[in-house]
Amino acid sequence: MQALDLDKMNGLLKAGVPPKTIISSIQQETGIRRLEITPKDLYNRSAKLLKEQLGTRTPIQALIIDLEAAGMRPKYVTTSNGRVSHLFFIHPKALQL
C-alpha cells in the first residue's frame, strides 16, 4: 500500500471504522476486487495502533488522564491491589444545571 493509503487506513481504524468497511472502501476507490490485506491484518494493525497510543499506561489510566485533560474531575475507587473498581465522572457543564 502507498503511504497515503496507509495514513488513511490508520485514520479510519483510529476512528473506529470496522475493518470490513475499510476494505470495501478501498476496493471501491481503487477498483481492485482482491486486495492483499485481510480483515485480520486490519484488526492486528488496530491493536498495534492502540498499543502505541497507550504506551505504558493501562486503558483505564489513559481514560482517567483523558477525562482530566477534558476538564472533568473523575472520581474513582481502587481495590487493595490497585485496580479501579468504581469510576464516576460528569461533564462540568452538567454541574451547572
pLDDT digits over 20-72, tens only?
Answer: 999 888 888 888 788 888 899 999 999 999 999 899 999 999 999 999 999 88
**68 lies in the same domain as 43:** no
Q: How far is CA 71 from CA 17, 26, 65, 67, 82, in A?
A: 27, 38, 10, 7, 24
Contact between 84 and 74 (Cβ < 8 Å): no
Predicted TM-score (pTM) of the model is 0.65
The whole domain housing 16 covers 3-54
* pLDDT value for 85: 94
Residues 48, 13 share a domain: yes
Residues 27 and 41 both lie in one domain: yes
H helix or E strand, kind and range, residue 8: helix 3-14
Q: Do residues 15 and 31 share a domain?
A: yes
The reported pLDDT for the residue numbered 95 is 78
Q: What CA–CA distance (Å, rounded) separates 41 from 10?
A: 12
Report the number of distinct structural domains present in the chain.
Answer: 2
pLDDT at residue 74 in the model: 94
Tell me, what amino acid is at 17?
V
Angle, CA 88 vertex, CA 83 and CA 93 arms, to 5°:
150
Whether 48 and 17 share a structural domain? yes
